[in-house]
Copies of this chain bind each other. A is one copy, B any other.
Amino acid sequence: MMRRVESRVRVRYSETDQMGIVYYANYFVWMEVGRVDYCTSAGFEYRDMERHDGALLAVTEAKCNYRAPARFHDEIRLLTWVTESRSRTIRFSYEMRRAADDVLLATGETLHTVCDREGKTIRLPEKYRHFFPLTNAG
């Protein structure tokens, strides 16, 4: 069974806003970084799934709960794992912590539909199925 996959992200100046903290939409960009790292860690490149197999993971739901603000230059430890895996949909969950002191910054979730290049829903190609096993919580 797949473990949670860990990514590291360094907060960019561009990601902050005038509150002096990371702008809320940017956490969704980090989740995308986590998903791509998840794929690499699982054994394939998301880029190749799009390019060679014409299978895209389009986002149909996204949510984030913000617990503590991330700030410029913080290193973020991002965990990504699969919490739902069906023939046409995959759900990822995320946890973001400040690496320096392990403080929980945010949790998130995204639901994806497998699509072809025209945006039509398709079944996840068989060869990718085993890359998305469920991960037990905890």
Contacts and interface: CB of A to CB of B under 8 A. Distances in A.
Interface string A32-67: 110010000000011100000000101111111110
A61 B63 contact: yes
A24 B64 contact: no
Contact of A47 (B14, B56, B72): B72
A58 B19 contact: yes
Q: How many copies does the complex hold?
A: 4
A24 B62 contact: yes
A42 B26 CA distance: 28
A19 B56 contact: yes
B73 A47 contact: yes
Contacts of A62: 24-25, 63-64, 66
Contact of A45 (B17, B56, B66, B73): B73
A28 interface: yes
Contacts of A25: 14, 25-26, 28-29, 32, 62
A33 B12 contact: yes
A94 to B, nearest CB: 13
Interface of A: 10, 12-14, 16-21, 23-26, 28-29, 32-33, 36, 45-47, 56, 58-66, 69, 72-73, 110, 119
3 smallest CB-CB distances across A and B, nearest first, come from A63-B63, A25-B28, A16-B18
